[in-house]
């Protein structure tokens, strides 16, 4: 079975941005950012994805989200 995984942790590490800074950049709470970074959410609000994409200057959704097989997921 496949599931959606948020690649936010990798994006932040690549760009040297802390979760707190992304929260400030997006207006999202630090808790929300933490839950997204750690893939602890069942649903991701469209508005949150849009704010993150704007803040990180991302044009392709595949830069933020990916499908993973549950058998191979960490």
SS3 2: strand
What pLDDT, on the 0 to 100 scale, is given for residue 73? 55
Does 70 have pLDDT greater than 90?
no
**Residue boundaries of the structural domains of the chain:** 2-69
Class of domain 2-69: mainly alpha
Model confidence band, residue 58 (pLDDT cutoffs 50, 70, 90): very high
pTM for the predicted model, two decimal places? 0.85
pLDDT digits (tens, 9 = 90+) for 15-45: 999 999 999 999 999 999 999 999 999 898 9
Rounded Cα gap, residues 29 and 56, in angstroms: 16
What pLDDT, on the 0 to 100 scale, is given for residue 74? 55
Work out the angle between the directed axes of helices 46-56 and 19-26 (0-180°, nearest 10).
110
Does 51 have pLDDT greater than 80?
yes
SS3 47: helix
């Amino acid at each position: 079975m496949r599931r959606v995984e948020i690649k936010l942790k990798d994006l932040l590490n690549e760009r040297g941005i802390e979760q707190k800074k992304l929260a400030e950049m997006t207006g999202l709470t630090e808790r929300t950012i933490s839950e997204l970074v750690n893939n602890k959410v069942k649903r991701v609000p469209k508005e949150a994805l849009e704010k993150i994409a704007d803040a990180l200057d991302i044009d392709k959704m595949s830069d933020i989200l990916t499908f993973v097989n549950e058998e191979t997921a960490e």
